[in-house]
Structures are given as C-alpha cells and as structure tokens.
Structure 1
Amino acid sequence: MKINPYKILLILALTSVGLYLFSGCSTMGYYAQSVQGHLSLMGQRKPIEDLLKHKDLKEGRRTQLKNAIAIRQYASEHLFLPDNGSYSSFVELEKPFVVWNVVAAPELSMEPHEWCFPVVGCVSYRGYYSEENAKRFAADLKKDGLDTYVGGSAAYSTLGWFDDPILSSMMNRGDILLAELIFHELSHQVLYFKNDAEFNEAFADSVGEFGVYQWLADTQPKALPRYETWLKRKDQFLHLVHETSDQLRTVYSSNLTDADKRSQKAQIIQTMHDKYTSLKTTWGGFKGYDKWFDTPINNARLAAIAVYRDRVPDFKRWITACDGDLKRYYSAVKKLEKMDKDERHRHLSIVTECNS
C-alpha cells in the first residue's frame, strides 16, 4: 500500500492517538514519536488474506484471523459500520499494547487535565508509543502536584484517515471482546465530535456492546448468557467507580480544609476497595477487576473511566428508542453535531424518542 509521507505528517499533526493517535504537541519530540510510531505500525501491516495462505502460520493465530475477518464482515453488513480497508490487515506487536495513555487530574478535583489539538479538539489524555516515555511524562506532571495514570491501550482509531490494522494486542481477550473492540473503533468513523471525548467514547461503547449482542444472537446464541453476565459485572464495577467519583466531587467542592479533603479522599477510596471485595463474593470466583484495584486509585484513574462510560446509559436508551435500528440511531445522533457540548449532553439525557 502506497502512503504519501507528506500526508502522514499533516495528518499526524492533526489527529490523535490513545485510543486515538494524539499529535499536535508543542514539542518536536512529541511530534517525532507520533510520526515514527505510526509510520512503523503502518509499515508492518500484512493483509490477513495473505497471512492465511502461509503454511507456517500457527493454528491458534489462523483461527483468530479467520474469526476477525468474519467479525469485520458482520460489522459492515449488519451493523452498517464503514465498509473500507480498516481491520483487513494485521500487525504482530512485540509489546502488550500499541500505545500508553497518560491521564492527569488535580489532587483535589475530578476534572481531568486537557490537551488541545487541531481537528480533534481538547481531550483528557495523551498517548505515547513507548511506555517509558509515557511514564516519564506522567512523572513530570506528578511533580506539578497532579494525580496521574498511565494505561496501556490495545488499539486506536485514525478516524478513517488510514486503514487501521488488527493488532495482536486486540486478540488477547478472546473473540467476543475482539468483536466489541472492532465495532467500537469503527464507530469512531461513523461520527466524531470535536471537543467531546466523553460523547464520542460513550457512543462507540454503546455500538460496541449492542453490536456484540446482535452478533452473538446471530452467530453464537449459546454464548449470549456469558456475555450478559460479563456486562452485568462490568456495570456493577462501573457503578462503583461512578459512586466513588460522585462522593469525591462532593468532598472537593465542600468548605473543608485541604487536609480534611485529603483525609476524606483516602477514606472514600478505602471504602471503594471494601465494596469491591464484597461485590466479588457474588461473582462466583470472577476476578476480572483485581488488577485494576492492585494499582493505587486516584482522581486520574477514576476520570479515565468516566470519559468512556458516564454517557453510555443515555446512548443505550436512544438505541432502544430507535427500536434497535442502527441506521436510524446513527442518523439521530449525528443531528446533535451542531449543538455545543453542554446542549448536546442535555439533549442526550432527556430525549426519549428517536428523532432520525
């Protein structure tokens, strides 16, 4: 595949990486790592159809790639997601994640720090292809008194500028979550509203989860109960995150001294740990969120989840209002683009009919 290097430089200066490719940094070093990292990734792409012809391809990987092709086809034919070259190629990474995202928030605030870039607008995270560089940047932010979080990402979207590949990091959690991730990332090509990461991510999550439900119903109905159980546990975890965030917001906005706020913060986070321990007793041995709790919890870690999930229930309500018709759903949501962010979020939360 021929790629115009000048176009790449322009796009990488305007498009983000994280779960997107974030460029537009004020330092040339950040531009350099973005360009180099993305060029390297694009240069490693191999058509999946060609890989499947190789006799030395391991059977496990062969099965995964065949399933990925079927998932990609389902996305366009049944979920009406873009039918293009995205996710028709594969890259075997030599690392567990493709990028590492840095999130930061003040010690006594739940509002994440934002970085602003052309085209994509302001976002609350910044991505690096090197975990070491991400941790170094987070350490600098921590010196300024900010809570920080560095988290690996299995994929990112170039919003249709490039034919994004399937990555080995996307396949580590099984076919069901691979499907959810592909549907999520393709949804960003359906719509992406500048300066509204919370809206964009929640929309993509709603399509990802609804899409998997439809895909399983059509292809693996016996797997539906397992996915429903997984979603229920995820919702319980997210409710705990949301509850904790709300409690911290109340403390931070109070007239308490900073010392008392810090004390309350520690108590609330400890209570969150205790509630999770209790919640797990109802999960039949499932420990899927243990790793999340093994790392110290702070405002940045909580804010990172809020970006993706706080608006998902509203979007799911809209899907129901549109009778599960994704074409109508996409049309209805696209009509919100001309609204400013606050008006858009208010409209999303109160409308109960599908205005497609």
Structure 2
Amino acid sequence: MRAAPAFALAAGLLLLSGCADLGYYWQSASGHIGIMRAAKPVPEWLADPAVSEPLKAKLELAQRIRRFAVTELALPDNPSYTAYADLRRRAAVWNVVAAPPYSLTLKNWCFPVAGCVGYRGYYDEAAAKAEAEAQSAKGLETAVYPVPAYSTLGWMNWAGGDPLLSTFIGYPEGELARIVFHELAHQVLYVPGDTVFNESYATAVERIGGALWLQREASDAARSEYARFDAQRQQFRALALNTRRALSQVYESAQAKADDWPAVDAMKKAAMDDFRERYARLRAEWLGPRQGAYDLWVARANNATFAAQGAYDDLVPGFEALFEREGRNWPRFYKEVRRIAALPTMEERRHALQTATGILQTNNNSIRKNQDNHGDHGA
C-alpha cells in the first residue's frame, strides 16, 4: 500500500518526461517504489526478534538523531526517517557526473521536478556505467559514484517519507547524524537548477548540526571516533580544494586562451601528478582502518570528480558565515537562506553569500581590533 502513491507520482513524471527519456524515468520511478516497498516503520524492526541487536541500537540512535533534528535544528517534523529499508546493496543510487576535458563545470541534466542538476542517478550500477561510457564517447570526463541516500524534497512525506537505509545505517554516530541532517535540510528549501547552492547549503547544515550533536548528545567514544574520521576528511578536502584551484588556473591560463592545448595538457598532468603525490604523503601519515578510504577516488580523479566535490563544498563558508551572522538561530538562518534562494540568478545568490561572509569577517576583525586596543590600554 505504501508504494501506490509513489506509483502515482511516477506516472506523472513519465507523462512529463516525453518519450525520449521514458526508460530513464521508468527506472527512477520503479527504483524508488522498490525502496518504499522495502521500508517498514522502525518500531516493527525493533519488535522483530530476528533483527540483530546492533541494528536495533542503530535504529534507536537514528530516532534520537531525528528528534534532535526537530527540537534543536528546527528541521521538519514529518514521517521521513521514521522507517527503515534493507536494500541489500551497497548504494541507494549511483550518480553519473561529467565535465569537459578543460573545465570544472559539470554537465547538467534536466528533470521535471528537480530542475537541471549536475548529475544523473541510476538505481542500477551497470546502467550508470553505461551512461558514463556514453558521455565519455562524447569527449567528456566522467565518473560514477555510489550515493547512500537521497531526498525526495518532502514530496513523498504523505506516502511515508524518505526512510533510513541499510546503505548508511551502519555509519559512525557522527556521520549518521550528519547524513540525516543533510537530507532533511533539502526538505526546508531547494532551488531548481542550482546544484552547488543546494548541496553547499545542506552540507553547511549537516556540519553545524553534526558538531552540535556530538557536543551535546554523543559519548566520549563517539566523539573520539568521529574526530579521527573527520581529521582525515578535512585534510583530503583541503588537498582537493587546492587541486581544483590549480586546475582552474590551468584552464584559465594564457595557453588555454591561445588554444595551446599541448601546453594545457602538460600543466593539467602536472597538477594531477602533484595531487596524487601529495595524497600519497598524506596517506602514509594516516593510521587506522580508513587509511585507504580515498584510494579509489584518487585513482579515478578527473574534472568530473573534482567538480562534483566542489558542488558540496564551494559555498559552505558563505552559509556558515550566514548562520553566525543570524546569531546561530536556526529559524532566522532558514528565513535568510530562503530569501537568498528566491533571488533570480545564481550570480545574485552567490553575491549574497559572499556579502554575508564579508560582513562576518569585517565584524570579527573589528572585534579583534577592539580586543587588541583594550589589551594595550590595560597594559
């Protein structure tokens, strides 16, 4: 019965899509219906004697995280993440991303509800790889990556909402909290056609919210576990950001403007070689089971992978600054994000975020200056 409303939505999407993408939209609709059919309310899983105690503990933790999202982060209070589905596969969907050989701009695919986004999702990994091969044949650099969760943007809450999934329920406590906060943030607002704005905003919510969860609710062991995990991630993100900047400079260089592609290729290769060498040095410093967590990403790194990561990171500082500017008050923060989201162009939205960041930096500089002056007077 839970799948019937989803099928109605799927039928509507099929009608909107036209014949050209009929097969793609059918796999999208049937894939989501499969997830909904597999989902059962968390209390049913907790009452089932066949369910393992570790899974029950994770489900109970997820419900605590869900309540925290509502009471402390002002995220939506609805049926999402109150059910659980065992998908018996390693990802909810597989996303395909593509970018030109001399650009970090993702190819966009357009959809009836989500608008134009920088990825195309498949519920079958083989189908995703086939799409990537088709884009490669057009001369684009491509990547396929597993996605543990996605949001239906609140459209399916009347049918049971987005469930917790086996693809991420086993995450460490801090990561489990972050993924729930991230996906719920998409239900607060979503700008069709602006992937970087949407993902950076949700990433900012997950980072701020995740830190609050760890500070207020997590055990010392969970905080230590997360600190080790996050330290490696931050180091890797910093390395990737530096490489994106290096590649951007290559693609904007005088050689590129003069169509001197052999020279551009040489500089691009040098930037990628430097990235892999620096990663190898980082990896040698890391200890523990996650030492090789980024090996596959690094081995397959190209314009598409760097651009996709940038979509989740590039505007995060602006949103974090906005949160601070609004007094760390969640309702005020969401109200301001909605105002910026309503601006008609990407450029205006980015300018508004840059303004927020600039104001915060100016205020912080003033505070430091006053503190310094106060210190001088005291001396």
Answer whether contact 1:25 1:31 (CA < 8 A) is retained.
no
Amino acid at match of 1:161: W
Greater alpha carbon shift after TM alignment, 240-249 vs 302-311: 240-249
Match of 1:20 in 2: none
- Distance change in 2, residues 1:58/1:225 (3 Å): closer
In the comparison of the two structures, how many residue pairs are matched?
Answer: 346
Q: TM-score normalized by structure 2? A: 0.85
SS in 1 for 2:110: strand
Distance 2:238 2:67 in 1: 33
Q: Does 1:241 align with 2:243?
A: no
Partners of 2:193 and 2:211 lie apart in 1 by: 30
Distance 2:187 2:165 in 1: 18
- Contact 2:10–2:26 (CA under 8 A) maintained in structure 1: no
Counterpart of 1:263, as a letter, is A
Change (3 A) 1:116 1:106: same
Task: Give the gaps of 5 or more residues in structure 1.
Answer: 15-22
* C-alpha separation in 2, matches of 1:271 and 1:25: 46
CA shift digits 1:192-211 (9 cap, x unpaired)? 11211101111111111111
Question: Which of residues 200, 203, 210 is equivalent to 2:208?
Answer: 210
The one of 140, 147, 163 equivalent to 1:165 is 163
Q: What CA distance in whole angstroms lies between the structure 1 residues aligned with 2:228 and 2:328?
A: 21
- In the alignment, what sits opposite 2:96? 102
1:220 to 210, 218, 221: 218
8 Å contact kept, 2:121–2:128:
yes
Following TM superposition, by how much is the alpha carbon of 1:280 offset from its aligned partner in structure 2, in angstroms?
3.6
Q: Is the 8 A contact 1:47 1:90 kept in 2?
A: yes
Q: Secondary structure at the match of 1:156?
A: coil
Match of 1:70 in 2: 64
The equivalent of 1:7 in structure 2 is 9
3-state SS of the aligned residue for 1:6? helix
Letter matched to residue 262 of structure 2 = A
Measured at CA, do residues 221 and 319 of structure 1 come closer, stay the same or move farther in structure 2, by a change above 3 Å?
A: farther
State the 4+ residue runs in structure 1 displaced beyond 6 angstroms: none
- Higher helix proportion (structure 1 or 2): 2
Q: Counterpart of 1:18?
A: none
Does the CA-based 8 Å contact 2:318-2:356 persist in structure 1? Answer: no
Change (3 A) 1:24 1:233: farther
Q: What is the CA distance between 1:40 and its match in structure 2?
A: 1.1
CA contact (8 A) 2:13 2:112 kept: no
Greater mean deviation of Cα atoms: 2-11 or 241-250 = 2-11
Structure 1, 71-80 or 142-151: larger mean CA deviation: 71-80
Q: Map of 1:328-347 to 2, 5 A cutoff? A: 328-339=332-343, 340-347=345-352
RMSD: 2.1
Deviations 1:54-109 (A, max 9, x none): 11111111111111111111111111111000011111011100100000001121
CA contact (8 A) 2:14 2:26 kept: no
* In structure 2, C-alpha distance between the alignment counterparts of 1:196 and 1:288, rounded to whole Å: 32
Bigger Cα Rg: 2
* Residue in structure 2 matched with residue 319 of structure 1 by the alignment: 323
Q: Deviations over 1:100-122 (max 9, x none)?
A: 00000011211111112233221
